[in-house]
């Protein structure tokens, strides 16, 4: 893609908890949250259960030992938390960028406050992670890290704030509802009101923008890539299964994607994403994506083939 110097900070390192400013950060987070961020020991059980990942329907999972099952669920849960960490980290960078790009005093105030929301979310997620995730080879997160670097404001607004914030809302609601750890579930639930404000503001500001041809084209290309990852089904869950159980043949993979009911899984998500692309000035974008078949889930055999060539994360 076209993006130049990286400023949004997806790859920023961490300072240690013994850093002399860490107490100031904790105090600032505490005053914003109204209470200290709880320190939590990781529980004995995985944060989300087999049914949440659709693994209760997968033969190779059901036939595994209880230990292997726990390991798979633990890894799948950690991937979800790591993803939330990177989404919020990208959110802090995104809001900072939009603060600088604001065209009125009030727009700048709004984005600066949204940035503080995302920093508070990030601080809370970190408290549930045993170690902060360093790098990621996940294709969705790599795309996100590139997108957040663009200087095209319409592209940023539509992708990050209309589509991804809207998507995040559904995703966090489901994480909260099904989480087996009360504090973590409550944390995701508490994000919802702020995330819905972020999404609503994105929709209003985007609707008032005049889209250039170049931006429209860039949005279509970025969304085609993003939707492909959704069309390709629960690749991450299959990746974790393979990490624990050893390499699968193509035939085994097709069966696993069938058992995971990949077409329903992706179909539901693609419908939610389609529903988010409401702004009237996005009609041309949606029509072109539809023309490309970007809202159609892939079949189990296509999903298996994609995971085989490791095109998608």
- What is the distance between the alpha carbons of residues 40 and 47, in angstroms, rounded to a whole number? 13
**Min CB(92)–Fe ion separation in Å:** 9
**Min CB(52)–Fe ion separation in Å:** 21
**Min CB(10)–Fe ion separation in Å:** 15
**Min CB(149)–Fe ion separation in Å:** 18
Coil/strand/helix, residue 144: helix
- What is the distance between the alpha carbons of residues 86 and 164, in angstroms, rounded to a whole number? 13
**Min CB(85)–Fe ion separation in Å:** 11
State yes or no: residue 118 binds Fe ion (CB under 5 A).
Answer: yes
Buried b (16+ CB within 10 A) or exposed e, 217-229: ebbbebbebbbbb
**Min CB(199)–Fe ion separation in Å:** 7
- What is the distance between the alpha carbons of residues 230 and 237, in angstroms, rounded to a whole number? 13
Of the candidate spans 66-74, 89-97, 140-148, 248-256, the one that interacts with Fe ion by CB under 5 A turns out to be 89-97
The CA distances from residue 276 to 38, 79, 127, 162, 233, in Å, are: 34, 25, 31, 7, 19
- What is the distance between the alpha carbons of residues 294 and 288, in angstroms, rounded to a whole number? 9
| Per-residue mark of binding to Fe ion, 194-213 (x: CB under 5 A) | -x--x---------------
Looking at the Cβ atoms of 87 and 227, the one nearer to Fe ion is 87
Q: How far apart are the first and last CA of the chain?
A: 18
Which residues in 165-194 contact Fe ion (CB under 5 A)?
165
Looking at the Cβ atoms of 154 and 161, the one nearer to Fe ion is 161
Looking at the Cβ atoms of 141 and 237, the one nearer to Fe ion is 141
DSSP 49-76: -HHHHTGGG-HHHHTS-HHHHHHHHHHH
State yes or no: residue 269 binds Fe ion (CB under 5 A).
Answer: no
- Tokens 């702020």, residue located: 194
Longest dimension (CA), the chain: 60
State yes or no: residue 121 binds Fe ion (CB under 5 A).
Answer: yes
Looking at the Cβ atoms of 166 and 300, the one nearer to Fe ion is 166
Looking at the Cβ atoms of 115 and 233, the one nearer to Fe ion is 115
Contact set with Fe ion (CB under 5 A): 88, 91, 118, 121, 165, 195, 198
């Amino acid at each position: 893609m076209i993006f130049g110097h990286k400023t949004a900070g997806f790859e920023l390192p961490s300072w240690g908890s013994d850093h002399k400013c860490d107490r100031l950060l904790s105090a600032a987070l505490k005053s914003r949250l109204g209470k200290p961020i709880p320190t939590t020991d990781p529980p004995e059980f995985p944060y989300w259960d087999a049914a949440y990942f659709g693994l209760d329907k997968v033969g190779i999972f059901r036939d595994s030992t209880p230990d292997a099952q726990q390991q798979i669920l633990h890894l799948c849960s950690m991937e979800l938390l790591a993803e939330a960490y990177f989404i919020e980290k990208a959110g802090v960078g995104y809001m900072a960028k939009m603060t600088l790009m604001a065209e009125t005093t009030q727009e700048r105030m709004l984005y600066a406050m949204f940035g503080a929301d995302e920093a508070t979310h990030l601080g809370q997620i970190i408290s549930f992670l045993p170690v902060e995730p360093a790098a990621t080879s996940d294709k969705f997160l790599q795309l996100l890290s590139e997108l957040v670097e663009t200087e095209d404001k319409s592209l940023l607004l539509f992708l990050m704030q209309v589509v991804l914030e809207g998507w995040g809302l559904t995703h966090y609601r489901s994480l909260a509802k099904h989480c087996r750890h009360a504090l973590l579930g409550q944390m995701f639930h508490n994000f919802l009101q702020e995330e819905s404000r972020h999404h609503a503001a994105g929709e209003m500001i985007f609707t008032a923008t005049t889209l250039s041809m170049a931006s429209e084209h860039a949005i279509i290309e970025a969304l085609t890539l993003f939707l492909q990852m959704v069309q390709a089904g629960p690749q991450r869950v299959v990746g974790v299964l393979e990490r624990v159980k050893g390499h699968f043949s193509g035939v085994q993979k097709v069966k696993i994607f069938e058992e995971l009911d990949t077409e329903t899984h992706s179909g539901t998500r693609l419908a939610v994403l389609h529903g988010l692309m409401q702004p009237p000035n996005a009609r041309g974008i949606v029509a072109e994506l539809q023309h490309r078949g970007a809202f159609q889930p892939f079949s189990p055999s296509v999903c298996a083939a994609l995971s085989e060539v490791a095109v998608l994360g």
